[in-house]
Structure 1
Amino acid sequence: MSDKTLDCSDLDRHMGVPMQSGRIRDPLGNMDIRRWAQAMHYPNRLHYDDAYAADSRFGRLVAPLSFAIATDDGHGAAPACVGRIPDSHLLFGGDEWWFYGPRIVAGDLIEVQRIPFDYVVKDTKFAGSTCFQRGDNFYRNGGGELIAKQRSTTIRYRADLAREMSSLEASDDPDWSDAQLEELEARKFEYIKSLHELGHGKRWWDEIGKGDALPTRVIGPHSIASFTTEWRAYLFTIWCGVHRRTDLDMEALGFTGPMAGKEQDPVLELENPELTDGAYIGPSRGHLFPRWARYIGMPRGYGYGASMGAWILDYLSGWAGEWGMVVHSSCSYRGPAFTGDITVMTASVVDKLVDERGRALVQIDVKMANQLGVVMATAKAEVELPRRQG
């Protein structure tokens, strides 16, 4: 029988110790924001139609709240992936967000400060001894304003044990008939129409009741092409798109065998950037290549956890409208989006309150599932809405 231990003895010395910060090289442009909205399948005109945005409360294009993650150089996972765990791999396990008000716009230079938070080791059916590690990211603009805080959770495990123990056997993409695909497009358009109907209007807190359902949002069917589109919307995936870390070494972190490539290596990027591109080399390639997906215990190509988090934030933000804002969201990822599957998002209001700061909030439960009803993620969020006077 295989030894199912996971050596996490190196992690303690990193907890609470600030890391190198992350910073994009160039001021953001409107095209960066548009590319992100398109890649995340978020048809909110506030983020790509400049004429529409000019008539909004902002008077210009603004980035979705989810865009903060695109300005980091590792999906927010950096402070949740410190310390050596031999022969390990990593999956995104969830994240918690707090938003403080400032919006990201073209011209901003975003910097991310990172501090490892904690970790715990649990026994799982997926891979035996498994490390759940958390770390904090603080996103600030060039003026030093705190835009958001993200507490990421990563799942670090031994890929050999995942292959040995996992029930996720290799499988083919499901087939969708033309009629089914047409029906999916109709369902997607129903969601888009809900965004159009609210437009620049206000969703009043006073008119929301417990049990109210949010419009259903459908994304997919997912494919290698759609996952690649997502990947390229993250600015760090572009050659010299960010100031690279000098303290990142996949092999030193213990990434297993052929997954320990030189992804994001700042020296090699200037010599041969092909060998530093995570779409093709290193631990990220499991998303886009079924062979490498199976190597780390997945049945076929799979999506990015950070994108799932973005879908949830966009879903909540679209419902809140431009006069509302997600102030807090806590997401737990149970399984990724696989090629050929769809993602169906539903949510309902579970409570409403006015907090100690006088903010009118609604509390929302979100569920993300595939076409078979298998739950991919859950989230709990607080959304601030405008309140009628008197």
Structure 2
Amino acid sequence: MASILESDEWQKATEYRITDEDIARQQQLIGHDQASRTREYVQTATEDTIRNFAHGVGNDNPLHCDPDYARGTRWGGIIAPGMMAGIINAPMRGDPTPDHIRALKKSLFRGIHVFVSGSKWDWYHPVRPGDTLYSFEGWESCDVKQSEFAGRSVINVLRHVKVNQRSEVVAIYRVLTVLTERGTAKKKGKYAAIEPATYTDEDIAKVDAIYEAEEVRGATPRDYADVTVGDSLGTMAKGPLTVTDVICFHAAGYGFTPYAPSVGRLAYKNRKRIAPFYIKNEYGVPDVAQRLHWDPVWAQAIGNPMAYDYGVMRENYLHHYLTDWAGDDGVVLHVHDEIRKFNYMGDVQTITGEVTGKREEGGQSIVDVAVRFTNQRGEETVKATATIALPSAGRPVLYPAVPPEIAARAVAMMARHWELGRGK
């Protein structure tokens, strides 16, 4: 059987290039917000979907998973892990996309590979069972750079404003994506020498020892006065990464709509809609380009030695780590993460962090922390900073106010949503 790298399908896939015209069109889209009409796997949070999402990233914190426990916390019930706001979405009604915006978007960066390389999060309200989330989104920036891995690449930042049914801004999620040319990435072969990790029973026992020692702060408040600059946040393990981990993440609610893996007739309809997203596998079957996260042959075809995780999986690992440390009464306010390396099948991520600063701000007691992920090869794969509010001298933590212009925009967008839905 011929290699996929020798097939006509692969040759066709590698013909797509980043063009100056596409870059110019992308830059003209900056500043235009529009209602997200995406229907994700989860549209309304429930105790079950919250628990399943937490479990999908290995998070068993009872604040997210145990209703009886959560009723005894300051929240009075289960709340979702903060980053779950990124995967909940019901279609928001809005005015039609202007013709000139529609023209700019048509076939933009057709056939170009996209991966997430980091994000910024700001949180303003918790997500509770019964909350339906909507969003509006727009591009904030578009930059071009030369990449050692893939030649010319484009770095875009897309801002998602997540809003609940009460028109409250729950979170602002800025996603940094990198677009690379498939053929160029293959030719560079930067990671070709990386060998798959293998483990002895003793190796697995060392990882298990980290899992055994992990601490969920939980109902024991972590008071601001007890925290000192330089303090360790402890150690957490994630891995070794398996295809099962990726499946669990999808099953927990990560749909990656509108490019979601689909079955049967739905896959056929999706393939008609976005044909370049489907590339034949080594058996001649059209399959999603997204399969690089579980298909080693396709991952190798685009220049990686094996399949690898979604960047958002590690972002959720990060939030798990922070909330385990902060406890039930603490609130993660802001996160900025940079994904530096791929997390390949078989890799173990060891998460460590430390307190880098303390301050009083806006009537809140704030702690700044720095976090890093390190794999079994000693490589830093994620670098992150976060801002956490902690209780102080019995004073409870409050979420910050939403920036006024974004709060007003959210109210206007939701008002239009309800107006367009009258009588339906």
Shorter-chain TM range is 0.7 to 0.9
C-alpha separation in 1, matches of 2:291 and 2:156: 22
Which stretch shows the higher mean deviation, 26-35 or 158-167? 26-35
Task: Give the corresponding residue for 2:222.
Answer: 203
Asked if the contact 1:123/1:129 (under 8 Å) is kept, the reply is yes
Show the counterpart of 1:31. Answer: 48
Q: Which residue of the partner structure matches residue 118 of structure 1?
A: 141
Moved more, 357-366 or 26-35: 26-35
Contact 2:133 2:163 in 1 (8 A): yes
Aligned residue among 8, 15, 18 for 1:6: 18
Letter in 1 for 2:368: Q
Counterpart CA distance in 2 for 1:301 and 1:124 is 20
Which one of the candidate residues 95, 114, 120 is aligned to 1:90?
A: 114
**Alignment-derived partner of residue 319 in structure 2:** 313
1:225 is displaced (CA, Å) by 1.1
- Give the conservation status (yes or no) of the 8 Å contact 1:4–1:161: no
Write the distance in 1 (CA, Å) between the matches of 2:337 and 2:181: 24
For these two proteins, the number of residue pairs brought into alignment is 354
Aligned to 2:70, which of 53, 64, 71?
53
Shift, 1:109, TM fit: 0.8
The alpha carbon displacement at 1:112 in A equals: 1.7
Shift of 1:152: 0.8
Classify the secondary structure of the residue corresponding to 2:233: coil
Aligned pairs for 1:185-204 within 5 A: 185-191=208-214, 194-195=215-216, 198-204=217-223
Q: Separation in 2 of the partners of 1:199 and 1:3?
A: 52
Equivalence for 1:253: none
Which of 229, 238, 263 pairs up with 1:219?
A: 238
Question: How does 1:134-153 map onto structure 2 within 5 Å?
Answer: 134-153=157-176
Match of 2:329 in 1: 323
Q: Residues 72, 264 of structure 1: CA spacing in aligned structure 2 closer, same or farther, 3 A cutoff?
A: farther
Q: Could you tell me which amino acid in structure 1 is paired with residue 54 of structure 2? A: A
- What are the superposed Cα offsets for residues 108-132 of structure 1, whole Å, 9 maximum, x if unpaired? 1111211111111011111111111
CA distance in 2 between counterparts of 1:175 and 1:162 reads 26
Q: Residue 266 of structure 2 aligns with which residue?
A: 269
**Secondary structure of 1:122's match?**
strand
Distance in 2 (CA, whole Å) between partners of 1:26 and 1:98 is 20
Q: In structure 2, what is the equivalent of residue 159 of structure 1? A: 182
State the AA in 2 paired with 1:269: L
What CA distance in whole angstroms lies between the structure 1 residues aligned with 2:393 and 2:302? 52
> Partner residue of 1:78?
none
Q: CA separation of 1:271/1:373 partners in 2, compared to 1, >3 Å: closer, same or farther?
A: closer
Superposition TM-score, scaled by structure 2 size: 0.77
Change (3 A) 1:274 1:354: same
Give the AA of the match of 1:300: M
How much is the aligned-residue C-alpha RMSD, in angstroms? 3.0
The amino acid across from 2:185 in the alignment is: A
Correspondence for 1:369? 374
Q: Is the 8 A contact 1:170 1:300 kept in 2?
A: no
| Post-superposition offset of 1:183 | 2.2
Structure 1 residue runs without a partner (length 5+): 74-80, 238-243, 246-261
Q: Distance in 2 between matches of 1:183 and 1:354?
A: 39
Identical counterparts, % of pairs: 23
Match of 1:292, as an amino acid? W
**Match of 2:170, as an amino acid?**
I
Measured in 2, the distance between the counterparts of 1:283 and 1:314 equals 29
Check whether the contact 2:63–2:218 (CA below 8 A) recurs between aligned residues.
Answer: no
SS across alignment from 2:231: coil
Does the 8 A contact of 1:344 with 1:368 survive in 2? yes
Higher CA-based Rg:
2
Distance 2:53 2:15 in 1: 43
2:248 to 229, 235, 239: 229
**Using a 3 Å threshold, how does the CA distance of structure 1 residues 26 and 164 change in structure 2: closer, same or farther?**
closer
Matching residue of 2:128 = 105
Task: Give the Cα separation in 2 of the matches to 1:123 and 1:55.
Answer: 53
Give yes or no for contact 1:15–1:118 (8 Å, CA) kept in 2: yes
Q: Please, which of 352, 366, 373 is the counterpart of residue 358 of structure 2? A: 352
Residue aligning to 1:299? 305
TM-score (norm 1): 0.83
Write the letter of the residue equivalent to 1:322.
D
Q: CA deviation at 1:5?
A: 7.4
Return structure 1 stretches of 4+ with deviation > 4 angstroms: 2-5, 23-26, 262-265, 270-280
| Partner SS state of residue 179, structure 1 | helix
Aligned position for 2:389: 384
SS at structure 1 position matched to 2:180: strand
Which of these residues, 199, 203, 207, is aligned with residue 180 of structure 1? 203
2:291 alignment counterpart: 285
Q: Tell me, in whole angstroms, the C-alpha distance in 2 between the residues paired with 1:4 and 1:222.
A: 31
Structure 1 residues 174 and 44: CA distance shift in structure 2, 3 A:
same
Residue matched to 2:58:
41
Distance 1:378-1:269 versus aligned 2 partners, 3 A rule: same
Deviation at 1:389, TM superposition (A): 5.5
1:256-300 CA distance string (max 9 Å, x none): xxxxxx6579xx639757999999932311101111111222211
1:15 aligns with 2:20: no
* Matched-pair contact (CA < 8 Å) for 1:46–1:61: yes
Distance in structure 2 (CA, Å) of the matches to 1:170 and 1:69: 35
SS in 2 for 1:94: strand
Alignment CA distance shift 1:173-1:54 (3 Å): same
Q: Are the aligned partners of 1:269 and 1:275 in contact in 2 as well (CA < 8 Å)?
A: no
Partners of 1:35 and 1:70 in 2: how far apart? 13
Instruction: Please state how far the C-alpha of 1:27 moved relative to its aligned partner.
Output: 2.7
